[in-house]
Each structure stands twice: as C-alpha cells, then as structure tokens.
Chains A and B, each alone.
Chain A
Amino acid sequence: GDSVTQMEGPVTLSEEAFLTINCTYTATGYPSLFWYVQYPGEGLQLLLKATKADDKGSNKGFEATYRKETTSFHLEKGSVQVSDSAVYFCALSALYNQGGKLIFGQGTELSVKP
C-alpha cells in the first residue's frame, strides 16, 4: 500500500541554520504531495504542495520539489527562525485512494534555538 516515510526527529537547529527534512514515498501512480505543519496544541496547517513531477511547492521560505525518480519530497528552508519550531508532516494523496485520503508520514519535530 501507499506510504510516506520521514526522517526521525527531533531535529534541533540554531536560528538561521539550513533545514532539510527528508521525505520519501511509495505509491502506485502519481500522487499529490503535501507538507503540513503543526504547532503545539493546534491542528495542521498546509505549508506547501506539489501535484506533479518536478513541481516545486514553496511558502514562507520553505520549499520542496516533487522528485519522481527518487520518490522524494524533501522540505528545505535556507534560514530557520525560532517561530518555525513545530512538527512537520509529509503526506500524499492519490486519485485511486477512495475520497483522496491523505496518508501521513510519522512527523518530524523541529526545535530551533535562538
């Protein structure tokens, strides 16, 4: 079945450091890929998305490129801030999934220190 695998956390960085959170997926066909962010005690917010190969999603300084050849959708940010501390979830949605259900990775906790 379809699945998403993320790098394990927690990831601890200093402010202004470069961030990469790895995400790889397994799916039949061509899924849409998403990154969601969850701040403490809150629901999930869509961070960015990509719907086809080589698409680059970007938002708030975060970027991720849909790489079909490596089945990856790694999240990057050039300079993190303390306010970026949160849990990040990679997810996929596929046409053949009934109702387009989202399948989530296990989440990666990011902690940014001043």
Chain B
Amino acid sequence: GAVVSQHPSRVICKSGTSVKIECRSLDFQATTMFWYRQFPKQSLMLMATSNEGSKATYEQGVEKDKFLINHASLTLSTLTVTSAHPEDSSFYICSASPGQGFSYNSPLHFGNGTRLTVT
C-alpha cells in the first residue's frame, strides 16, 4: 500500500534554532501533501497544503514565515520550523494521497509524525 515516510521521528532543539522535517511518499507520487499539527490529546489541525512546484497554501492563523514549506519534487515535501520557540513544541504529521490529481474520494496516507521539543 501507499507509504509515507517522515523524518526525523523525534527532535529536540534549542530555542532560536531551525528544524527541518521531511515527508516522503515512498511508492507513489504526490502532487499535494498536507502538514498537520497535533497538540496532546487533541485533534489534528491543518497547517498548510503543499503543492509540488508552487507555493504552499497556509491555513488562517499559521505564520508562513515561521513554518516554511518546500515541495521540491513529487515525492518530497519539507517543513522547516524557523527560530523555534518552546510554544512550537508539538507533534507534526504530514500526509499525501496517490495520484497526480488529488481526489476527495482518495484517502490520505499519513507519516508517523515528528515529535518536536524546543528547550
């Protein structure tokens, strides 16, 4: 089945540094990938939609200069948390769907998430 790999699974960084999280679709191409953020015991909040070859679309309230998204190829999207602060500590999850054109009938496949801790 469709596999989405996310790396790293855990990262601890110091306040003020930047962290890059990678999301790869291993056995399919994904024109569109999504980045979610999840707080403890809460649901997933969509942060942005990553489009291959173009700028990401950010949800309202998400700082695009803080959460930089690059979708350089059909199998890789990256999320960079710039100048991280303790309040950015969270669980970040990416997702993608097979196919060149995203269909609302196609389920999303999720990576295993990245636990970011900013000290």
The answer to the question of A32 belonging to the interface, with a C-beta cut-off of 8 Å to chain B, is: yes
Q: For the complex, give the distance between the alpha carbons of A94 and B4 in Å.
A: 22
Smallest CB separation, A91 vs chain B (Å): 9
Cβ of A93 < 8 Å from any Cβ of B?
yes
Interface size class of A (residues with CB under 8 A): 20 to 34
How many A-B contacts are there with CB distance less than 8 Å? Answer: 62
The answer to whether B109 and A95 touch across the interface, beta carbons within 8 angstroms, is no
CB pair A99–B112 under 8 Å, yes or no, is no
Q: Within 8 Å of chain B (Cβ to Cβ): is A42?
A: yes
Contact A32 B104 (CB under 8 A): yes
Name the segment of A18-26, A63-71, A102-110 touching the other chain: A102-110
**Partner-B contacts on A (CB < 8 A):** 31-32, 34, 36, 41-46, 49, 51, 89, 93-95, 97-102, 104-107, 109
